[in-house]
Amino acid sequence: MKKKRLINIILFVSFIGFVGVSCLIGYENGQQSGVAFINVLVEMLKILPCAFILIGLFEVWVKEETVMKHLGEDSGLKGYFWVLLLAGFSVGGLFVAFPLADTLHRKGASLKIIFAYLGFTGICRVPMTIFEISFLGLPFTLARLMVTIPLFLLIGITLGTILNKKNYKLNIKSSCTQ
């Protein structure tokens, strides 16, 4: 792990150096890369601390039995309904969805439901859907949702089934322990 961390540090320092040199010599693409990096960093810093606090509270307050009952292997269609609602009201997009999916997995949620949740998070968040309706219209948005929701449901079920048949186990280590 130390070698991987060293490589990441070298890449980050190289990027900062590239942006710094770009500012000194007036290389516009390098300057734009730096500005884009700062913009993404600021957006993440606005969302992630609150989201991680909520995920931490979710880990402490929601019992494993509750997750297994509603999102486990035996939850059926209601499990997909719950993650569709959860994804719809999520903030932060996939930045927040992946840590929450990890928490759900550790509490006993089915891989099928987790994969569906990740797909739903990308396609049916309420703010994104409202924005889409305002620009592309309600008929387009409804048509897109009627195609993508069943598609991600099918993808989640397929991936989960394949991985379960192969007895696949996720090997997730916390970045804090690395």
Residue 44 CA to residue 24 CA, distance in Å, equals: 27
- Closest alpha carbon to 18 in 4, 36, 31, 1: 31
Mean pLDDT over each residue of the chain, to the nearest integer: 89
Q: What percent of the chain clears pLDDT 70, i.e. is strictly above it?
A: 94
pLDDT band at 13 (very low <50, low <70, confident <90, very high): very high
Q: Which of 16, 79, 80, 92 is nearest to 48 (CA)?
A: 92
Query: Which pLDDT value is given to residue 46?
Result: 86
Residue 42 amino acid letter: V
pLDDT in tens, 167-176: 887 666 554 4
Q: What is the pLDDT of residues 127-158, one digit of tens each?
A: 889 999 999 999 999 999 999 999 999 999 99
Residue 115 has pLDDT above 90, yes or no: yes
**Residue 168 pLDDT:** 80
pLDDT at 145: 95
d(CA 52, CA 47): 9
Q: What is the pLDDT of residues 33-84, one digit of tens each?
A: 999 999 999 988 888 888 889 888 988 998 999 999 999 988 889 999 999 9
The predicted pLDDT at position 177 comes to 41
pLDDT at 173: 59
* Claim: this prediction has a pTM higher than 0.85: no
Q: Please state which of the ranges 13-22, 92-101, 117-126, 164-173 shows the lowest mean pLDDT.
A: 164-173
Q: Distance between terminal CA atoms of the chain?
A: 7
C-alpha atoms less than 13 angstroms from C-alpha of 103 in its C-beta half-sphere: 20
